[in-house]
Amino acid sequence: MYILDDMSSYHHFFAYMGCANALVFAIAGAAYGTAKSSIGIANLGMVYPEKIFKALVPIIMAGILGIYGMIVAVLISNKVGDVKGLDAGKKGYQLFWAGLCTGMSAFASGLAIGVAGEAGVKAFA
């Protein structure tokens, strides 16, 4: 029977996966929010080109989501060095779930910004 000891690296894997989850899902949400809002801005620009700058708020909000994901990923990557000792597995899982929660909430926010931003910009037109 194989027993996971202190020298195994599964806890580091989960910690770094938390870092990746925060970054990837937050950037995906920001990209979706930007793309959907840009469709509305393109439609607005065809009718009222002078209103484009006022309609950039959803794109800025979506970009902030990506920045949040990057900040959390950097914070998690700095905490990976603390994953050692008897409760290393627990710390690794905590970092994994912290990154996953951050990434998925930013992804859901990006979806909401995209849908609401496109509808809001079209209504502004």
pLDDT tens per residue, range 16-35: 999 999 999 999 999 999 99
Which has the closest alpha carbon to 22: 88, 90, 78, 84?
A: 78
Domain 10-124: CATH superfamily is lithium bound rotor ring of v- atpase (1.20.120.610)
CB 39 within 8 A of CB 118: yes
Q: Residue 110 has what pLDDT?
A: 94
Domain boundaries, the chain: 10-124
Average pLDDT along the chain: 88
Cα-Cα-Cα-Cα torsion 43, 46, 47, 51, nearest 10 degrees, comes to 80
Q: Residue 92 has what pLDDT?
A: 87
pLDDT tens per residue, range 65-93: 999 999 999 999 999 888 887 777 788 89
